Each structure stands twice: as C-alpha cells, then as structure tokens.
Structure 1
C-alpha cells in the first residue's frame, strides 16, 4: 500500500527515536538509583507488600511474578543498557521484526516498574512515556519508511497532552482566565530551578503575556498538528519553544523534554535542511504482516481513545489518569489549580536523649526541595527526584504523605544508607539521631534588595508543627499498627 509509509519523515523518525531512547535512559537510571529506599524490600512502600494485595490483571508487571531487590536492579540496569543501545542506533542495524522487539524491551521493563511503583510513580509523565514508548515499537527500523498511522497516533498523543492541559487550566483556577496564575506559579511550583527566582521577578504584564501565550499554544495550536505542511511543522515548533521556556523556568522531570520529543515527530525537516533531509534510497516497501499489525494496533488504540476523549471534553475533567492497566491511552494535564503560598516540610533531628527547649536540632537537606534559604535551586530535570516531589505534596496537605512519611522518619532514625543517599546532606554522619521532628514553614522568594543584602533566595516563616519529636520505637509501633 503506497499510502502506508511517509518516507519524507524518515529523519523525523530518527530524531524522535534517539531522543526517546535518551528519555528512557534517564527514567531507568532514576529507577536503578532510587528504588531501594522507595519501593525495595525494605523501602518505604515495599513492592512485595503491594503485589500481595493487588492482582496481576490490575497492575501487570514482571515483579508480580517475582520480586527481589537484586532482580529489580537487574531489570533497571538492563533497561539502561537497552536504552543506551537504542540511543546509539543499534535498532537501525537489525531487521524490522528484531528492531521492533528491541523497542518492546524497555516498554515492558518500564511498564513493570510503573505498575508497582505506587505513589512514587503516580505522575503523568510515567504514563506518557509508556504510551509514547508503545507507539515507538511500531515505527519500524531503518529499512522501511515510518508508517503514516503511527505518525498520526503520535500527534494524537501530543494533542491530548497540550489540549488537555489547556482545558484543565481554563476549567480550574480562575487565575488562568484572569491571566494572573504566573504571579504565583514560579514561586510555588513543585521544584524550582536555578532560574525560577528570576522568572518570578519578571514584571506583572510579562507574566500575563506568558499566561496568554500558554493558552494559545495549548488550546489553539494543537489543532494545527493535523493540517498540511508547513503549518503542522510551525505548530510543532511553537510547542517546542513553549516547552523549552518551561525547561528554563522549573524542574518538571522529563515531561517537557518528552513533549519536545513528541513535537519533533511532527516536524518535516526538509523545510529546514532541504535535500539533506531526503530519505535514503534503500527504504523498502513495508511487508504485509507489518501493515496488518500497524492497522490493527491503530484501530485498537483509537477504540481505547474514547474514554480519554470523553474525559477531556467533560466538565468534570480529571488529569493524568490511565484508563487501562497497560497505560496505552491516557489523559493528561497539569496545574488546574495554582497555589498562592509555598509551604515546605522541614525535617530535623537531635542527638539528645530527651528533647528540650535548648536542644540542638539539625536540618536534613534535600537535593532539589527548598530547605536552607541560602541554598540556590539546581537543575535536575529531566532526572526525577521522587522523594523531593512527594515532599512538595506533603507541604500541601499531610494526607499526601500518610502512606510514606512515617516510614521515611523511621529510616532516618535508623540511619538507613539507601534513604540517606536520596538526600543532599545528612546532619548525622556518624550515628542516627535519637529524635526526629518535622515543621511546616512558609517560603517566599526574597526581593532584589533582600537577595543583595543576605545572599538568600528564600525567606521562610514558621507555620506549625508537622510531626512532633518522635523516637524510633514510637514510629515503629505506629507502622506495625498500620501494617
């Protein structure tokens, strides 16, 4: 079938595949380095306890069949190795079927991680990576042109990411309709970056321009993805620019980068590179089995799309939700409401046998979460600091931390090495503290004058106690009652 492939998009496919492999590599690296403290056998939310109560059909995963920390580590590092191989272009050296099988490996492995990751993996970009990774399996190897249907499905994902995010904003917080949300967002976002202070200090009218441009990019531009070239390329490039602006202004894991990757799949590079972007002459006709498979998958995914589409158009729209256990077609969105005030949970410990008013309380410092007001935020995205993100949610409401905060305190009191590796600095390098407490502070960015005078980018004010001074035996007793 001559219509089946779009040979002119061979470079778009190549760029998309290599960039997606890089995102996979970052995701698997984060899983390998963080899992023991989060979901390991002695983690805060252990996988064995989870799979004992959740059936396979609800959360398909290799770890439903067998779990050990060694097995998980092997799968995570295997995912890193396969991702690195795909990044290097090994799939281009393989026949079509073998290339598809190689792309299937990281999808199966990461699906297995997400489906047992619980709260630590309950982010929209996990489902987005799985949905996009599944489509990548059917983009074929270098010897066949990219299928039109898969390119269309990638644009359908990008449309839902952008349009869904735009709708959730317009239906949610009124500040989006008044164009004032960015008066607060750069200060209250989950994990600020090194430039977030400067973005927050932009003039108010420019913040309104930011919000208006966001609405245009998310509510109008996505429809242009389905128009002829060069309009579709122009729409994709606008999305890339918007996402790079978000990359500069905060740390949103790989969400922005994966959206950029999706947008690049819609770009016709011949518009920029001319003959240099023409397809190679060795592209062969797609075999019949491959055409039948791609058509069947397309029909199935379009059938599964009806629930995300209905949700997107519903007045009760929910964001970042999967409607099937394999995360094949999902709904997306972010910041339907914007916090006006930033509250952070600060964890401290003391070596005193009995806490007193004059006890020395030393603060645990996180890698990305605001803590010491003089510590300037660093850039971590696309790497995902999962504990830091959940600490932001804990500052919004203790309910977000109910399942894992007690185990976190327990491991700090034990001096657990895997947990301490997730932190920037442990104030008790020789022996664990006798007591740990948590206090809630309100954080705000300093002004230009305050920054020059103190060198601190944050100013914080004590709000209330989050957790009273707690000993190891007390927190263990509470966890035993819950477990």
Structure 2
C-alpha cells in the first residue's frame, strides 16, 4: 500500500468529530439520566466506604472518582468530563497540532470514564467501537515528544493498518451475524421489507423506501449480505489498489443509505471513518497521478512490468466476476421477463453457512497476518534505508515499539473475532484479553444482532392518569408514538433513553431495571427526566402537575401502505395493541417500592450538598445556558459553528492564496535584469566564502574544480 498521509489525517479528524458528537450528546442528557434527580443517579455508584484512589481506579477505571478531590458532586464531575472532551475534540478538529497522540489518549480516557459508570445507557455497540477506534487513534496520531520533531514516520502504515483490520472485523462480523443467528428474515430475504420500520430511528425517507416493490427489497437484502460478507473477504486486503477503492465506495454507499433511512448514528460515522483505511495518498493527489502517468508514457515499459500490469487487470476482473457469479448462484437470481422483475432466493442453509464460517474464518486470520507482515517489513526496510546512522537507529527503535504494540492489539482482537465461529485461541492470548477487557481495547461485533420482527415494530407507550379512568399518552420526541407524527430527524444526536426503550420493547421489562427508575421520576414530575421525553412543555400533557398513576403498554407499529389502507395523508404509522408492558403503579405502592429496591434504585444514603467552588459555579453557569434546549438543537448548533469556522478558514486561505502571486508577478516585471558581470562577481564571492569555511584541503580542491562548471 502507498503513502497514507491524507487518509491518516482524515481518520484523525473524523474520530475527533465523532468525539464531539458523543460527548455533547451525553452532556445534554446527564441530568435526566445520571443526575441527582435522574433515572439512574450516578451517586449510587459512589463507594460508601472511602477507598484509596489507585485501588478504586483499578476496580473501575473512571475519572469520576477524582470529583471529590475537586470539590464536585458526581453529576458535575460527569459534566466536567464531557466538557473537557468536547473542548479537546473541537481543538483536534480545528487545529492540526492538537491531533497528537496525547490528546487522543485523553479523549479515550475521558470516554472510558463515562462508559464504566454509564451502565445500560452506555452499553451500545457504537460505544464499544468508539473506544476501540479511539485507542487506535492514539497509536495512529503522531507523538511529538517521542519523535523529537523528526520527519521519519515510516511506521505510520503499520498502525494505520490496524484501522483496516478493525473495519474488516466490524463489517464481516456484522454481515455474518445476520446469517449465523439463524434470522429467518435474512434467510428468506425479506429483511428489508421489515427493517425500515423496525430500525431504531427511521426517517421519513425510510417510509418511502418501504413502499418499494417486494422483489426490489429482496434484491437489496442480497446486496447488503454481499457487501458485508463477500466483498470484504475478497477486497479489503487485496494487493491490487483498484479493488480496495472499489470496496471503499461500496461501503461508503452502504453507510450513506443507512444514514438516509435510519438517521446519522455514531455507528455509521465510525464506519465511514474506518473506511478511509482502504485509501492512499495517490487517490487524493490527482496532479501527481497525472504526472506519473505522463512519465510512464514517456518511458518504455519492460516486459516484466507489462506482464504484471496485465496480470493485475486479469485478477481484478476475476474478482469482479467471482462476486457476480457467487451472487447469482448463492441467491438464485433469475430474470422474469414477463413481469420485468428479478427474483431471488437463498441457495444455502444455516448449517452450510455455519460450516463456511467455521472453515473460512481461520484463513481470514492468516490473510490478516500476511497483510500486516507485508506492511511491517516494508516499514522496516524504509527505516533501514534512512540516511544517517542516528536517524536510522532512531527510526528502527520507533518501528520496533510501534510494531510490538500493533502485534499485541492484533493478537487481542483475535479473541472476540473468533468467538462467533467458536475457534480455539491460545490460552495466553485469552488470559491477556481478560486482563485488559475492562479497558475496551478491542471489542466484539455482531454478537448483539437482533432477530427482525415480522409482526411489526414493538413500541412502549407510556400513559398517565390522575384518577385511573382517563389516560393520556406521553409520547417521546425521538421515537414513534402518535401515528400522525412523521419520523423525526435525530442524527448525529444520540438519544439514550429512546434507544433503551427500543431495546426494552424487544426484551421485556424484566430485562430493563432502569425502566422502574423512569416511572418513579415521571411520577415525581422531575423536570430533568421529563425533558428527555419532551423539551416543549406544551407537548407534555402533565407539565403542570405530575400524574398520580402511570402504566405502559406494548404496541406493534407498521408503516402505512397507501396502496392498501389509503392512510398516508392522515398517518405515517398504524399500530395494534399487543400486551401490557408495565402494570399500573403509584408512589408509595409496596410492590413498586420493592421493584425499586430490586433494581438498586432505592435511596440508601442522603444526597451530599453541592459545593460552591469556582469550577462548580462555572459548570452550573454552562448548564443554565443549555437547560431547556433539545439535544439535537445543541449538537446541530455546535456542528454548524464548526462548518462556519471551516468556511471562514477556506475563504481566508483562498483570499491569501489569490493575492500572493500578483505582487510577485509585478515585482518580476519591475525588476531589471542583472548584468552578467554582477552575477559572475556575486557567484565568485559566494564560492570563495564557501571554500574559506571548509577545513579539509581535498574538499577545497574538489570545490575549486567544480565551481567553474557551476558558474557556466
């Protein structure tokens, strides 16, 4: 693979931008989720018995435990962590010198601190992926202190290769889990017929795509499986550059489709950030590419070079042909000329796919080993060819350290990668993985695949009442409720409560102890929790007085079908009652109090009074400005500000770039040509001064012999 300076810079900027979205999204929701009056107060996790700081950090790595030493309560300590993360990530996005390994290590440590105390609200797949990608950014980013300003960065391709390996694991495991789980919707190729209404946060465009013909949606399911299984296997580590470019654009198109139909989530942004590992500098430097082509046209190609070029083209065509033929055979693609449709059907069983996964996942590891070895050896040879003994030794030391770290990360990633196929791993590697598992250096992907429901989208609907006779629904902002309300545009903001409610609707209330805390806070009328459901008080039916009774029902939601029910102009959804999700409860109910105690949400010690330190006052002041604003509005404003700054920088750069050549041209015109005698006199004086500064007599003779030629 060629130089990766531009893709590497794009990856670091993308990770910093994703950190901005992640930290700001969590910051807005802290009072309602983890605050003193939140659903799951983080103070309940604070140790009741004072323990040494190092011991506490070893048990649960989190900077939250430093809050008391700063005079901050648990909630404000979390807010400080998020604000520091936002500031550092914004700096890394805007300023190149801040894209340093130390900055990315701080960002990773801050997010790990939130992850370890966030409980169920921060246990999503994209949180694990962000921690692993963030740690890789620590290795990929330059470290000025160790490099001492050296320009030798030959080992960058070694660390950047780890991002490609992570992207392969993410893509392949996501696709393989769809079939390894035995999901009948994917084996029947009807997954997309239900996916758009079942996904976490559909968009209005998802409603339109849902109306496409069934045969086209089935063909889309075939394309998704091929993009996530076959194409990564054939192209991600291919030595032919055009195959990697083909794979990049395929994956980019797939993620853009996910964003347009399912909102812009952190998982999609992380996938796009990791996909740049398939690119190189030649893809961006078009001028250099044109010069290279012109130079190649001037030079006569040798027989060996011509043979290799022809062979590469033939291999590339063979890969494309294999992907096409495998698609036709595995999914029985047949053209129906009468109906002008393309029928499809899976031509393999789950047992056959399990056998394929068992026998082919091992070779993918060896392909990864060979690809990594190639990058490591190439980097080592470049270090060996460095001029100067000191530079050569220093480059080799850097290469050895970075390569050892990359080997360790690769070995640790083998454990979760092979879990799906049940492959055996060395006991030493598995033991090392268990030791560092709490730091989330590597993650397992695809294991959280959920069977797509063909009965509709299960949704929890909260209802409140004052007298037990008249019930009113409490519909959240970012999830389906009112059938006449269009699906919202949420991303890249990540509403954690709606995400957990979407999961709880599929798992049940027994698997969601936090739901009891949500009911308790709504009965108490806590504004911090109410703002998670509705920021606008006019949209919340119990804004004046909290309800006396609350219950939860489970409905199955479907997108409306204008061809059948003619309801598009009146409604986006149609729903059907399924069952009771949570019984009717009220404050003081013995059964409800028992549920709170079983969920670990019962208050066992009094709240500590807030301090008046300067840091606490600053945090309270910032919170006061954000209070009452929706999370999507806050994040959109922040991103719009970033875009504005980039536009201003681009305008100034263009303006300064446009003014520089003009004075130079004018000066060139006004300057008079120098006399030949003056030029010769100056060059003669310069050569004398150069020769006078050297001590070696032999070098002076060589310079005196060469100087007339230079003057000529």
TM-score (norm 2): 0.61
**Corresponding position: 1:39 with 2:34:** yes
Change in Cα spacing, 1:465 to 1:293, as seen in structure 2 (3 Å) is: same
What is the aligned partner in structure 2 of residue 349 from structure 1?
464
Q: Report deviation, 1:195.
A: 1.4
Q: For structure 2, list consecutive stretches of 5 or more residues without a partner in the other structure.
A: 49-54, 68-72, 145-150, 291-386, 425-432, 601-712
- Name which of 520, 544, 547 aligns with 1:410: 520
What is the aligned partner in structure 1 of residue 449 from structure 2?
335
**Corresponding position: 1:187 with 2:200:** no
Larger radius of gyration: 2
- Name which of 266, 274, 296 aligns with 2:404: 296
Instruction: Judge which range, 191-200 or 153-162, deviates more.
Output: 191-200
**Corresponding position: 1:121 with 2:122:** yes
1:192-211 Cα shifts (integer Å, max 9, x gaps): 12211112111111111111
**Corresponding position: 1:12 with 2:7:** yes
What is the aligned partner in structure 2 of residue 249 from structure 1?
261
Alignment partners' CA distance in 1, 2:187 and 2:46: 43
Q: What are the equivalent positions in structure 2 for 1:198-347 lying under 5 Å apart?
A: 198-223=208-233, 224-228=235-239, 229-251=241-263, 253-275=265-287, 287=395, 290-314=398-422, 324-333=437-446, 335-341=449-455, 342-347=457-462
Native 8 Å contact 1:11 1:277 kept in 2: no
Q: Report deviation, 1:304.
A: 0.8
1:121-163 Cα shifts (integer Å, max 9, x gaps): 1111101011111111122349664711112110110011011
Alignment partners' CA distance in 1, 2:85 and 2:27: 9
1:43-96 Cα shifts (integer Å, max 9, x gaps): 3223333354997545421124546111110110110111111110x2x226xx
Alignment partners' CA distance in 1, 2:584 and 2:33: 23
**Corresponding position: 1:78 with 2:84:** yes
Alignment partners' CA distance in 2, 1:144 and 1:185: 49
Alignment partners' CA distance in 2, 1:213 and 1:432: 50
Equivalent position SS for 2:460: strand
Q: Give the number of aligned pairs.
A: 460
Q: What are the equivalent positions in structure 2 for 1:378-417 lying under 5 Å apart?
A: 378-399=488-509, 402-417=512-527
**Corresponding position: 1:28 with 2:18:** no
Alignment partners' CA distance in 2, 1:373 and 1:39: 31
What is the aligned partner in structure 1 of residue 75 from structure 2?
69
1:384-407 Cα shifts (integer Å, max 9, x gaps): 111101111221132465311111
Equivalent position SS for 1:422: helix
Native 8 Å contact 1:151 1:266 kept in 2: no
Native 8 Å contact 2:484 2:572 kept in 1: yes
Equivalent position SS for 1:325: helix
CA RMSD of aligned residues (A): 2.8
What is the aligned partner in structure 1 of residue 708 from structure 2?
none
- Name which of 586, 591, 596 aligns with 1:479: 596
What is the aligned partner in structure 2 of residue 466 from structure 1?
581
Native 8 Å contact 2:12 2:141 kept in 1: no
Alignment partners' CA distance in 2, 1:288 and 1:76: 38
Alignment partners' CA distance in 1, 2:419 and 2:46: 29
Alignment partners' CA distance in 2, 1:45 and 1:315: 38
Change in Cα spacing, 1:472 to 1:336, as seen in structure 2 (3 Å) is: closer
Change in Cα spacing, 1:237 to 1:481, as seen in structure 2 (3 Å) is: closer
Equivalent position SS for 2:216: helix
What is the aligned partner in structure 2 of residue 3 from structure 1?
none
Alignment partners' CA distance in 2, 1:385 and 1:254: 11
Alignment partners' CA distance in 1, 2:61 and 2:104: 18
What is the aligned partner in structure 1 of residue 163 from structure 2?
154
Q: For structure 1, list consecutive stretches of 5 or more residues without a partner in the other structure.
A: 1-5, 279-283
What is the aligned partner in structure 2 of residue 93 from structure 1?
97
Alignment partners' CA distance in 1, 2:454 and 2:30: 33
Equivalent position SS for 2:236: helix
Instruction: Judge which range, 403-412 or 436-445, deviates more.
Output: 436-445
The structure that is helix-richer by fraction is 2
Change in Cα spacing, 1:390 to 1:42, as seen in structure 2 (3 Å) is: same
1:411-446 Cα shifts (integer Å, max 9, x gaps): 111111111111134211212112112111121111
Native 8 Å contact 1:169 1:176 kept in 2: yes
Instruction: Judge which range, 340-349 or 423-432, deviates more.
Output: 423-432
Instruction: Judge which range, 433-442 or 46-55, deviates more.
Output: 46-55
Change in Cα spacing, 1:304 to 1:482, as seen in structure 2 (3 Å) is: closer
Q: What are the equivalent positions in structure 2 for 1:97-108 lying under 5 Å apart?
A: 99-108=100-109
Alignment partners' CA distance in 2, 1:287 and 1:378: 52
